[in-house]
Chains A and B, each alone.
Chain A
């Protein structure tokens, strides 16, 4: 599986938008881009995934660069409950394999 690169940490203010970047320059054409987050003392939680087009759901939006070498997870209005470690993961379409977690980005949200 191709590798992803994320900043170690980011800070945000409550009720402001947050843009979490992820670089994946070696992405293949069949790799989905997945985002999970892990709140303190909990297991990871699925956030969103996409292949080529931008995606929106009730939790977040995923913006994918035209060349697919990078993507951005957008939290439209950060709340204190969004403080977590966010993981960007590539997974081959139809893969029966596991998720490969990197170090992720630790997001802190200030009131």
Chain B
């Protein structure tokens, strides 16, 4: 059974650019969540999507956005990148009614 797949694994961008990260959940999982992990702030919740609708949102600026497609795949976008956006971005999926989330290995974004 394939796990949660995140692409790309590594990314280097320049300040001011925008970036799109992709997440393919486990087949049958309809909920997709995104997290940002930095050494200083740890793991912080960005947003969650279920059936193409944003169901929950963390405390991040509007530069961070996401969407979910009908096949449950999700993308997150960060516009006008800042140095502080350098982080590991993690995606997690969940089967409806189940308690445990399955995380991907993340996308390491470096902003220079």
Contacts and interface: CB of A to CB of B under 8 A. Distances in A.
B102 A46 contact: yes
Nearest to A45: B103
Interface residues of A, number: 19
A97 B106 CA distance: 20
B101 A101 contact: no
A17 B88 CA distance: 32
A100 B102 CA distance: 15
Nearest to A93: B99
Contacts, number: 52
Nearest to A101: B43
Contacts of B45: 98-100
Chain B at the A interface: mostly helix, strand, loop or mixed?
Answer: strand
Contacts of A7: none
Given A43-B103, A49-B100, A91-B99, A97 B56 contact: yes
Interface residues of B, number: 23
Interface string A73-111: 000000000000001000100001111111100000000
B58 interface: yes
A44 interface: yes
A46 B55 contact: no
A61 B48 CA distance: 29
A34 interface: yes
Interface string B93-109: 00000011111111000
Contacts of B56: 96-98
A98 B47 CA distance: 8
A44 B103 contact: yes
Contacts of A91: 99
A65 to B, nearest CB: 20
Nearest first, the 7 closest Cβ-Cβ pairs linking A and B are A43-B103, A46-B100, A98-B45, A101-B43, A43-B90, A44-B103, A49-B99
Interface of B: 4, 33, 35, 42-45, 48, 50, 55-56, 58, 90-92, 99-106
Interface of A: 32, 34, 41-46, 49, 87, 91, 96-103
